[in-house]
Amino acid sequence: MTPDGDKMLGIFGGMGAEAGAMTYQRLVRSTAAATDQEHIPTVVYGATTVPDRTQAILGSGKPCVDALVDGVRFLERCGADVVIVGCITAHHYIEEMRGAVSCEILSAVEETVQVIRERAPDAQRIGLLATTGTIASRIFQSALEREGLTPEILDPRDQARWVMEAIYGEHGIKSGEEGPGRQLMLKAAAELMDRDVDGLIAGCTEIPLALFPEDCSVPLFDPLDALIAAAVRACGRKLRDSAGGGPALNCCQHSSVKN
């Protein structure tokens, strides 16, 4: 809480390096504010030393949960009343993070499913594009199933050669080369759309860099948009008209966020 009594927002970024900065930029653009003083007081933590989340989940890398818990504790010590985590894969550990602090930690997964239910009430099948770690964790699949929705994921071979290569490959999105990754992501999206899904989730913050709403014949839901909208509301602010109930909450928009 600030000295003026406003809620302080903490952004847990650094996963990847641009996530915190670009999440904050999208927060500013989504908040209905005419002056500096009407924006949300925010502290951004670029925690670039957190071990890779996908490798941790799959057991092929260093554990990351302690670093994630330390990060939210740091933000709480900085005065954060509400925390959002820019890395979608890190949401596998959200209950551990929530259990370590008294401040509120919002979930991109929970908010995305809520948006799907509000914006596409007749949806039944939802395609999921995400890292292999996120898929293995089943955080999206379980949340969708609790709402009576059927998740559709790629088979392991296509997941590896299209989605993971698009994100992590030598010329992938994390390397700063969006073009090659875009072609692979288009193939992944096309495969899921061929299964007659009613929407796609861009379940990694790299994906909106390579896959755009106009590429898809169904709505493309962006968890980061849903998370930011929830953060604006939780901090007692209003969304800009373009972000409230419009495409920003229903489909992902082209941005420069990296996960």
Task: List the catalytic residues.
Answer: 87, 204
Q: In this structure, what token pair is assigned to residue 39? A: 């924006």
Long-range contacts of residues 182-186, Cβ cutoff 8 Å, at least 24 apart: 182/210, 182/211, 184/210, 185/129, 185/210, 185/211, 186/210, 186/211, 186/215
Q: In what order do the strands lie in the sheet with 220-221?
A: 150-152, 125-129, 199-202, 220-221
DSSP 103: S
Name the residue with tokens 């930011």. Answer: 228
The rounded distance, in Å, linking the Cα atoms of 59 and 41 is 37
Query: Residue 61: helix, strand or coil by DSSP?
Result: coil
The CA-CA-CA angle for residues 240, 253, 228, to 5°, reads 50
First-to-last alpha carbon distance for the chain, in angstroms, is 28
φ, ψ for residue 11, nearest 5 deg? -110, 120
The rounded distance, in Å, linking the Cα atoms of 128 and 143 is 12
